[in-house]
């Protein structure tokens, strides 16, 4: 987990930092004039204005976690001790290229695609709200 988190933290830092730079400063100045503290400003202004970037990051993170094949295949080609750390993509690879069950592996790939699609739809639907223009 530590390797996966460390390898993707830079991408999410860049995404969220770019989103933070695009926020208008006038809103934050108005919050300070109204007497809002740092925590209240963060919770009530910053997070709602970053909601689209956070939602996109959740979707991308879900896709990465479902398909972190390359790193785990290099680190643990057999799926760790007794297959305990094997992910779906490694199972797909083993079914196709070790066991020779290409049809079964194709079905696993389609199921993985559908799970990823459902995850993206759930995240997008759960965060549906009116657009905030700034």
pLDDT of residue 127: 72
Tokens describing residue 132: 């905030």
61 belongs to a structural domain = yes
58 belongs to a structural domain = yes
42 belongs to a structural domain = yes
Express each pLDDT in 55-92 by its tens digit: 888 888 888 877 788 888 888 887 778 878 788 888 99
33 belongs to a structural domain = yes
Express each pLDDT in 100-129 by its tens digit: 999 999 999 999 999 989 988 988 888 777
Query: Cβ neighbours of residue 28 under 8 Å, at least 6 residues apart?
Result: 41, 45
At 37, which CATH number? 1.10.3720.10
pLDDT of residue 71: 82
Q: Rounded to whole angstroms, how far apart are CA atoms 70 and 92?
A: 13
Q: Which domain holds residue 9?
A: 2-126
Average pLDDT in the chain: 87
96 belongs to a structural domain = yes
Count of domains observed in the chain: 1
**134: pLDDT confidence band, cut at 50, 70 and 90?**
low
Task: Give the predicted TM-score (pTM) of the model.
Answer: 0.70
């Amino acid at each position: 987990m530590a390797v996966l988190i460390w390898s993707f933290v830079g991408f999410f830092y860049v995404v969220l930092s770019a989103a933070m730079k695009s926020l208008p400063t006038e809103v934050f100045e108005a919050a300070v004039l109204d007497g809002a503290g740092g925590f209240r400003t963060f919770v009530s202004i910053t997070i709602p204005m970053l909601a689209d970037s956070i939602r996109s990051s959740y979707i991308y993170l879900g896709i990465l976690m479902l398909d972190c094949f390359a790193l785990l295949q290099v680190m643990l080609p057999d799926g760790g001790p007794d297959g305990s750390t094997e992910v779906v993509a490694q199972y797909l690879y083993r079914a196709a290229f070790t066991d020779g069950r290409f049809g079964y592996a194709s079905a696993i790939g389609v199921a993985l695609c559908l799970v990823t699609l459902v995850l993206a739809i759930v995240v997008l639907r759960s965060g549906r709200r009116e657009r905030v223009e700034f």
